[in-house]
Amino acid sequence: MKYRAVIKQTGDWWIGWLVDLPGVNAQERTRGRVVESLRIGAQEMLETEVPFEADAVMTTLEIPTPAWAFDPMSAV
């Protein structure tokens, strides 16, 4: 499977995260290592079994759209 990753250098560090798998992120000294850390993190997340709990509830949250994400065509 393929997942979108954001990877950038900040000072002496490379940081990255997977857009499609929230919670998978990494910080390493080289680009290659951050990519590998993201691969490992994604694999571990996808292999983790989450047991069903009878009192658990799945819900959705309404989050306001940030100003930078405003689509001027939606007002037309």
Q: What is the pLDDT of residue 58?
A: 83
Tell me the H-state helices in 1-76: 31-47
Residue 73 domain-assigned (yes or no): no
* Averaged pLDDT of the chain: 91
Q: Percent of the chain having pLDDT more than 70? A: 91
Domain boundaries, position 26: 5-62
What is the Cα 29 distance to its own chain's centre?
A: 20
| Model pLDDT for residues 13-46, shown as the tens digit of each residue | 999 999 999 999 999 999 999 999 999 999 999 9
What is the domain count for the chain? Answer: 1
Q: What is the pLDDT of residue 53?
A: 87
Residue 72 domain-assigned (yes or no): no
DSSP 3-state of 6? strand
Residue 67 domain-assigned (yes or no): no
Rg of the chain taking only CA atoms, in angstroms: 17
CB 13 within 8 A of CB 26: no
Q: In what order do the strands lie in the sheet with 13-18?
A: 5-10, 13-18, 25-28
Q: What is the pLDDT of residue 69?
A: 83
